[in-house]
Amino acid sequence: MTAFDLDAYNERARNGPCFICSMLAGEPGHEHRIVLDDGVHVAFLDRYPTLPGKLLVAPRAHVEDTVGGFTEDQYLALQLVVHRVATALAATVPTERLYLLSLGSMQGNAHVHWHIAALPPGTPYEQQQFHALMAEGAGLLPDDPDRTERLAADLRTRLGHPCRHDQRGA
C-alpha cells in the first residue's frame, strides 16, 4: 500500500471542478479508465483504489441529489448499471463480499456516484468494511498501469459494451 495525501484530496474535492464532469470533458489531469459508457451512465476504475478493481458508477449528467435528483425510472436504471458493473467485477477479481455505497456531499464530490469495491477473500475482519475502503487508513494500492489496463479490458469484455469515451490515464 502507498500513502494517501488526504489534505490534497480534500482540497480537490471541495474546491476543484467536478471530477466526473472534468473526466467526461476530457480535461487533463482527470483521466480515468472507463469500463462502460452507455451514453447515460459511466463506470470507471477509481484512481485511488484501496481494493483491487474498485470502480465508480455515475450518471453522465451532473446530478447532486442521490435519490431526489432522479425520477424513479432514472434511479432504477442507474441501479441496474451498478448491479451489472458489480456483477462483472465479482466475476473478474476474487471477491468475498461486494461493497456498494454512495459517498460525496454538497460540500465535495457532489456529482452522484456509487463506489463498487470487492473485498478479497481472507481479508482479516479488522481490515474489512470502512477500514478496507478508506485510503487514509489502508493506504492506496501501488500503481501498476499494465495490471490496471488489463483489469479494465477484462471488465469491458465482461460488460460487453464498447466505451464511447475511453479516458485512459497514466
Which backbone phi and psi does 160 adopt, to 5 degrees? 60, 30
Q: Containing H/E element for 45?
A: strand 41-45
Start-end of H helices in 32-166: 72-92, 130-133, 135-138, 145-159
**In a domain? residue 123:** yes
Query: Pick the residue with more confidence: 88 or 15?
Result: 88
- Does 164 fall in a domain? no
Residues sharing a CB contact under 8 Å with residue 104, sequence separation 6 or more, in sequence order: 110, 111, 112, 113
Q: What is the pLDDT of residues 92-143, one digit of tens each?
A: 999 999 999 998 888 888 999 999 999 999 999 998 888 888 877 667 888 8
- Does the pLDDT at position 30 exceed 80? yes
The tally of domains found in the chain comes to 1
CATH number at residue 37: 3.30.428.10
Q: How far apart are CA 22 and CA 39, in angstroms?
A: 16
Instruction: State the residue range of the domain holding 78.
Output: 6-159
